Chains A and B, each alone.
Chain A
Amino acid sequence: MNLDDELKSALRREDPPLGFTQRVVARARTKPVPKTGMFRMIWAAGIAAMLVIGFTAVSEYRQVKAERAASQAVVALRIAAAKLNMTRDKVLKLEN
């Protein structure tokens, strides 16, 4: 058998097996539906909203923490100042 005959034999016309068309159509139907633009926008808006809420919560927490630290610092300095003042008064009293 020469090359031409081999090629003709290999590339001869054949009918598809039974049910081939139905199987192709069924598989095509099960392919995922592409996401629509609206669906993506809803996702993006949801993520953006979560980011904004998260950022706001963190900055609110930091603000509360800073406010508490500031009030504690003022109280601490007030106590330090009062005790220094008290000591000065005692020293002046002893001098007199």
Chain B
Amino acid sequence: MRKLLGTMLLMGCAAVQLPAQIRITGLDGLASKAKATVDITLDSSMLQMAGGFLGANGKDQDAAKLKELLAGLKAITVRSYEFKEDGQYRREDLDPIRAQLRAPGWSKIVSVSEEKELTEIYMRTDQGKVAGFAIIAAEPKELTVVAIEGTIDLNDLSKLGALGIPSIPIPNQGKDRNDKDRNKKGKEE
């Protein structure tokens, strides 16, 4: 009886965890049509190794920041396909992923739908902190899906400019910074 209760409890925990784990499915057939493909899947152990490598080899502050950022992550999955021509994928191909992102815990924070483009950003919060986010960017000749799980401060991510990561102020995450960046952009223009 105790074993049965224990098993049920474990299954319950697994069921609670399931919505957090986004599986990028339904896009495998696109790789053969694409002229360039990025397929990255990093689990927590790989991220730990990556952090260790950056800590050991990166002497600059950015490497340290990147290591700190990676320490809070549990998984990174990226699928990106670049095509020669339009119409190599259908928006329905994204349905299995979007269905997962409708699960409790996830919320769509940005959605921009244009004639031939669709961009959506989803976020999962846990106790008021960002516990994961997902990006779907569907352009005529490019399709990108990013799923990042774990504690992540998007402002920290935006600060990693020196490694080639552009500065990205995120709405509702540090209004001052957004204002500063807008002013900066205004001055540049």
A70 to B163, CA, bound (A): 12
Find chain A residues with CB under 8 A from B117 CB.
Answer: 90
Interface residues on B, range: 35 or more
Task: Given A83-B137, A83-B146, A86-B119, check contact A73 B76 (CB 8 Å).
Answer: yes
Name the distance in Å between B52's Cβ and chain A's nearest Cβ. Answer: 6
- Say whether A81 contacts B50, CB under 8 Å: no
Q: How many residues of A contact B (CB 8 A)?
A: 27
Interface residues as binary, B48-81 with A (CB distance below 8 Å gives 1, 0 otherwise): 0111111000000000001001100000101010
- Say whether B52 contacts A81, CB under 8 Å: no
Name the distance in Å between A12's Cβ and chain B's nearest Cβ. Answer: 78
A residues sitting closer than 8 Å to B (CB atoms) are: 62-63, 65-67, 69-70, 72-88, 90-91, 94
- Say whether B47 contacts A73, CB under 8 Å: yes
- Say whether A82 contacts B166, CB under 8 Å: yes
Name the distance in Å between B69's Cβ and chain A's nearest Cβ. Answer: 8
Task: Given A83-B135, A84-B170, A87-B112, check contact A77 B157 (CB 8 Å).
Answer: yes
Name the distance in Å between A63's Cβ and chain B's nearest Cβ. Answer: 7
Task: Given A78-B163, A86-B137, check contact A62 B78 (CB 8 Å).
Answer: no
Closest 8 CB pairs of A and B: A66-B53, A69-B50, A70-B50, A66-B49, A81-B165, A70-B53, A73-B50, A69-B46
